[in-house]
Each structure stands twice: as structure tokens, then as C-alpha cells.
Amino acid sequence: MAAIPSALEITRDIVRMDTRNPPGREVECATYLGDLLAGAGIEVNYYEFAEDRTSLVARLKGEGDKLPICFGGHIDVVPLGTKEWTVDPFGAEIADGKLYGRGTTDMKAGIAAFVHTALKLADEGKRGEADMVMAICAGEETGCEGSFHLGEVGALGAAGCVVICEPTSNYPMVGHKGALWLRVETKGKTSHGSMPEQGDNAIYKAARSVSKLEDFDFNIAPHELLGKSTLNVGMISGGLNLNSVPDQSEFTVDIRTLPEQDREKLLDGIKRYLGEENQVESLVNVGGVHTPHEDPWIQDVFQVMEGVLGEPMEPRGAPYFTDAAAIKPACGHPPTVILGPGEMKMAHQTDEYCPLDHIDQAADIYESLARRWCGL
């Protein structure tokens, strides 16, 4: 077999592939990774939820009856933003111990690290007592579309544990919040701006609703690890011209939910709270996840990480949602940890970067977790 590419080399290769979502077009990146894995004798299957929106599931086969360990993550990235970059966002440039580019932190370095691990284990030619499964997903940034599709078509199957390789500075997180994203529309009646009494101003209606949401009570106790549910109005628009009463307005609501929260009940509650003059549409609805830190496998992860990081582990949660929202239930709700290279604060930032030492460290961590689970 040819020399195994390092995690850094794989990261640089896939950062150079433009997978901005929208529109996504993850097919090139998925095919590159699939070819690497298949070339090492690892089983690879591709799944598309739309044209060129390609996810893949790879499986390094074991020979026992133990449920697999599943590594997961996404290959789409967010747009570049309006601020000009000082580096080529798809150049994968290295400077001052950092790898720069869109997706270096969120989260192509994590993908590359577990792909490198799989290639290394496959090269040894040993068969462990469990499979190592890899779920490489399209469309996470807009609501985990790819990972939910994998669950819908039964591409994953049961797993014994899950590692989601999102950026945590390689610190294990045992949970994250969910998300309920809403679009709220108000309607009115247009008229000349000099005669507003003849119209019905849709922006005024939206403004009253936005103000009302500031006082919305979730009526649920804070989570022991993840804190409280939150609500933010992120965008608002309306009207076509300055001198007319607007007959349409809309705004978006970003709600971060707790793992035990009933999101359908919450959605109904928001609709009732805002009233009939507001048309509420759900854009994204993904659940939170949490594994108690007392779980035996989580304790094993903590033991590994204490050796790596040189400090006692304490249970922590991530503020963002991940593909764990789809992968964990698709795998039968096994214990799940979010653990990957890159600093959370760099996700979605201009001049995004990932520290080089995080990438190599993550590959070593994933190798250790895979070996311990699979008995290699």
C-alpha cells in the first residue's frame, strides 16, 4: 500500500474543495474521501439527499459481535461572510503553527483525523472485535440534512458508542443543545405612505411580535449541564418602498432547546403565544443530546483524555448543535461524545484556522478510542 497520508495532508486536500453551503456540492469531497478509504479495503457506500449533496458511510470491518464505534461529522462549510479574508479561504495555507481556510476548524480537520485513523488501522491488517464506522455527512450547517437522511434510509445501524468530531479543542463534551429555527410572517394591507390610516402595517405587527418574544417563558428548568433554553430574533425584513404602508413582513427566530424539551409542544406554544396574525413556519428542528458522564464508556473516554491533556476531566456541553442530533438516534441512542480539533470560537469566523497540533492530537485520540473499543 502507498504511504498513508497524514491527517494534516488530508485536511489540506479537502479544505481546498469548496463545499460552501448553500449550495453544498459535497460530492467532490465525499468522493475523494471515499476513494481513500476504499483504496485501503474499507467498505464505502454513498448516499445523496439531493443532486451533488453526497454523504458516505464507511466501515472498517471487525470479526466479533460487539456493536461498532461510530465516528461522525460533516464536510459542508458556511459561507465566507462579508468581511475580506487576509488569506485564501480555500488555499489551506500554513503559518505560525496554524492551518488557515474555511472549514479547517468546522470541521474538516476532525473528518481528516478519523479518516487517517481508519487508514492506519486498515494498513495493519488486523480485525478487531467490532467495526469502526464513519459517517461523513453533507448538509449539516443547514439542519443536519445529510445525517438525518442516513438515518431515514437505514445506512448506519446500531452502534455501541458515537464520537462526533466537531471542534472542542480536543476536550470531550457529553452533550449539546438542540435548535428550533422559525420563520414568522405577518400580513397587512398596503396604502400610500401619506395615508397610513387606510392601510394595515405588517411591520408594526412584526415589531409587536418581536417585542413580545423578549418575554417568552419556556417554563422548563435549566439543564444541569447545558443551562437554559434561549431565544434570539436574528433577521427581520418587510416593505418594498419607503412611501408605502407595507403589507408583508417576516422575521426569524433561533431557539436553542434542551435535550428533554418537547420541540413540537414548544412550536405549538410559540404559535399560540404570538397569535393568529403571525404565520409560523419551522425551518430547522433538531434535538439536543446528552449522555450522563457516569456512563462507563464516557468514563473510559475521560480516562484517555486525562492522559492526553494532563488534567482531570469535568462534564461539559457544547452550545451549538451537531450531527449527533441525527446520528445518535439512528444508532440506537448509544453514549455519545463531541470531541474534535479546533477552537469553537474560530468556527464560522473570517480567517478561520485550526492549530496544527490539534490535528495530530485528534488523530492520536481517535486511534486510541478505536483501539480500545475494537480490541486492537
pLDDT tens for residues 8-32? 999 999 999 999 999 999 999 999 9
Q: Is the pLDDT at 70 greater than 80, yes or no?
A: yes
For 177-227, what is each residue's pLDDT tens digit?
999 999 999 999 999 999 999 999 999 999 999 999 999 999 999 999 999
> Using 50, 70 and 90 to split pLDDT, how confident is the model at 1?
low
Read off the CATH number of the domain in which 280 is found: 3.30.70.360
Total domains present in the chain: 2
Segment 77-105, tens digit of pLDDT: 999 999 999 999 999 999 999 999 999 99
Q: Determine, yes or no, domain membership for 130.
A: yes
Strands 98-100 and 94-95: antiparallel
Final residue of a structural domain among 264, 286, 308: 286
Which whole-number Å values give the CA distances from 132 to 117, 121, 238, 316, 324, in the listed order?
10, 10, 50, 25, 17
Quote the pLDDT of residue 2.
75
Nearest-10 crossing angle of helices 356-374, 7-15: 120
Evaluate whether residue 359 is within a structural domain. yes
Judge whether 291 and 298 are in contact, CB under 8 Å.
yes
Q: Are residues 97 and 147 in the same domain?
A: yes
Indicate the residue among 286, 303, 322 that finishes a domain: 286
Share of the chain above pLDDT 70, in %: 100
Distance from CA of residue 119 to its chain's centroid?
24
Q: Which residue has the cell 467532490?
A: 28
What is the Cα–Cα distance from 281 to 345, expressed in whole angstroms? 30
130 and 167 inside one domain: yes
H or E, element range at 136: strand 130-137
> Does 366 map to a domain?
yes
CATH number where 300 lies: 3.40.630.10
Q: Which domain holds residue 134?
A: 7-176+288-374
The pLDDT score that the predictor gives to residue 146 is 98
pLDDT given for residue 280 in this prediction: 98
Q: What is the pLDDT of residues 292-305, one digit of tens each?
A: 999 999 999 999 99
Regarding whether 99 and 195 lie in a shared domain, the answer is no
Examine the domain organization and report whether 131 and 215 are in the same domain.
no
pTM: 0.95
Residues 302 and 248 in one domain: no
pLDDT above 60 (res 314): yes
Mean pLDDT of the chain: 97
Rounded Cα–Cα distance for residues 256 and 254 (Å) = 7
| Residues 334, 160 contacting (CB under 8 angstroms) | yes
Domain contains 298: yes
Shared-domain flag, residues 172 and 278: no
Residue 2 resides in a domain: no
pLDDT tens-digit readout, 241-257:
999 999 999 999 999 99
Q: Is residue 218 part of a domain?
A: yes
Question: Are residues 231 and 210 part of one domain?
Answer: yes
**Residue 251 to residue 203: CA distance in whole angstroms:** 10
Q: Decide if 1 is inside a domain.
A: no
162 shares a domain with 94: yes
User: Helix 263-274 and helix 202-213: axis angle, to 10°?
Assistant: 130
Which residue is associated with the grid cell 455501541? Answer: 160
The pLDDT of residue 319: 82
Q: How far apart are CA 194 and CA 204, in angstroms?
A: 16
Last residue in a domain, options 286, 302, 320:
286
Residue 203 lies in a domain: yes
pLDDT digits (tens, 9 = 90+) for 127-151: 999 999 999 999 999 999 999 999 9
The reply to whether 31 and 137 lie within a common domain is yes
Q: List % helix, strand, coil for the chain (3-state, nearest 5).
A: 30, 25, 40
349 and 276 within one domain: no
Asked if residue 226 and residue 134 are part of one domain, the reply reads no
* Domain shared by 162 and 191, yes or no: no
CA distances from 253 to 185, 208, 231, 267, 327 (A): 11, 14, 7, 11, 25
